[in-house]
């Protein structure tokens, strides 16, 4: 009976089929870590921010499905609900928030799915004396003129002669000073090429002067509660300034706070480790910040080890287990 069931190789068709399926699963698991690493180069949306695209899907209610984009203030207009602010929320928190809003109109609504994506849009931050400071989003590489126009143009007290672009190069901020006063008559306008993530700073004039930057306060942006100019007139510890800007958020890297200030009549940038002050009380990590300075709180970068190694270990364990079962099957156990 056994001989009649065996194929030409002496293996039953049933066992051969199980082995074929097992090897297919084994190959898939072996390739999976490579696929995970390949996907690591994309930008994962964990916390929503301006410019992100969200897709709402309500099973059984196609009339509520929508694809929307967060505006420069992190807000989005949801049909039937109206304008809501989602910036700073995780995708799961935003899902629960929107579901609660929709339940006010549809009490029987039970399931809502939300996915988020971040495109390769150009984001330029504008702070200082413009009509609409904040993140400006473009689907192309903008010129300085595009950015000023998108932010509503300079305010009456804007000091365009003392504008500057702050850019991060290999973790170190660079300050590029430039004269944008040519915007008023269309001449001698800089052709500086902007990059994604650059920050354009437009200071203000002192009252009754023409070309002297104002000591109006400290410009703060990055990993803080809100992009804002903290109005101070006297030197203040850096931590106090950050608290007035809404405090560092949970994505902030307190070891990398970039402080742009005047030194000998020249704008320089210094990297400050605020964590030294918070953990050791070291005053080096909490220097005095002066009116007219700029602070940028860096964001934490994902830890490659904890993001990829645990899933890979799980995959290896699964491969070993399947190989062990295939081996026992081949041996007839």
Strand partners, 238: none
Residue 135: half-sphere exposure toward Cβ, Cα within 13 Å: 22
Strand partners, 259: 270, 295
* pLDDT for the residue numbered 249: 83
* pLDDT for the residue numbered 41: 40
In this structure, whether the domain defined by 120-214 belongs to CATH 3.10.560.10 is answered with: yes
Nearest Cα residue to 216 out of 102, 91, 92, 129: 129
pLDDT tens-digit map of 73-120: 678 888 778 888 898 899 999 999 999 988 888 888 888 898 888 766
What token pair was written down for 226? 């809100």
Q: What is the chain's mean pLDDT, rounded?
A: 77
What token pair was written down for 287? 């220097």
Nearest Cα residue to 267 out of 129, 158, 174: 174
pLDDT tens-digit map of 258-315: 999 888 778 888 999 999 999 999 999 999 999 889 999 988 865 555 555 666 776 7
* pLDDT for the residue numbered 2: 46
* pLDDT for the residue numbered 258: 93
Which sign, positive or negative, has the C-alpha torsion 156, 159, 160, 166? negative
CA-to-CA distance for 215 and 290, rounded, in angstroms? 8
pLDDT tens-digit map of 122-152: 888 888 888 888 888 887 788 898 899 888 8
Structural domain spans, the chain: 53-117, 120-214
* pLDDT for the residue numbered 212: 37
CATH architecture for the domain at 53-117:
2-Layer Sandwich (3.30)
Question: pLDDT grade, residue 331 (50/70/90)?
Answer: low
CA-to-CA distance for 272 and 260, rounded, in angstroms? 11
Highest-scoring range by mean pLDDT, 26-30, 47-51, 196-200? 196-200
């Amino acid at each position: 009976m056994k001989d009649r069931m065996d194929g030409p190789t002496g293996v039953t068709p049933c066992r051969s089929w199980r082995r074929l399926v097992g090897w297919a699963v084994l190959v898939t698991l072996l390739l999976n870590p490579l696929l995970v690493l390949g996907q690591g180069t994309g930008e994962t949306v964990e916390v929503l921010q301006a410019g992100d695209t969200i897709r709402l899907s309500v099973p059984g209610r196609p009339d509520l499905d929508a694809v929307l984009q967060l505006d420069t203030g992190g807000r989005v207009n949801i049909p039937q609900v109206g304008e809501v602010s989602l910036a700073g929320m995780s995708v799961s928190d935003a899902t629960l928030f929107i579901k609660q809003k929709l339940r006010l109109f549809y009490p029987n609504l039970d399931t809502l799915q939300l996915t988020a994506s971040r495109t390769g849009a150009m984001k330029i931050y504008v702070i200082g004396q413009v009509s609409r400071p904040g993140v400006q989003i473009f689907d192309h590489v903008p010129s300085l003129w595009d950015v000023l126009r998108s932010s509503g143009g300079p305010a009456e007290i804007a000091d365009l002669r003392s504008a500057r672009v702050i850019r991060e190069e290999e973790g170190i901020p660079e300050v590029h000073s430039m004269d944008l006063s040519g915007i008023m008559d269309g001449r001698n306008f800089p052709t500086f090429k902007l990059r994604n993530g650059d920050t354009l700073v437009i200071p203000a004039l002192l009252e009754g002067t023409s070309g002297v930057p104002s000591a109006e306060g400290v410009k703060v942006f990055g990993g803080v509660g809100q992009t804002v100019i903290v109005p101070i007139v006297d030197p203040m510890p850096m931590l106090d300034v950050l608290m007035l800007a809404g405090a560092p958020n949970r994505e902030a890297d307190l070891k990398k706070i970039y402080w742009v200030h005047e030194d000998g009549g020249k704008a320089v940038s210094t990297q400050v480790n605020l964590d030294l002050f918070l953990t050791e009380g070291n005053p080096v990590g909490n220097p005095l910040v002066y009116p007219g300075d700029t602070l940028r709180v860096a964001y934490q970068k994902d830890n490659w080890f904890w993001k990829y190694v645990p899933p890979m270990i799980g995959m290896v364990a699964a491969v070993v287990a399947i190989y062990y079962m295939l081996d026992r099957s081949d041996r007839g156990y």
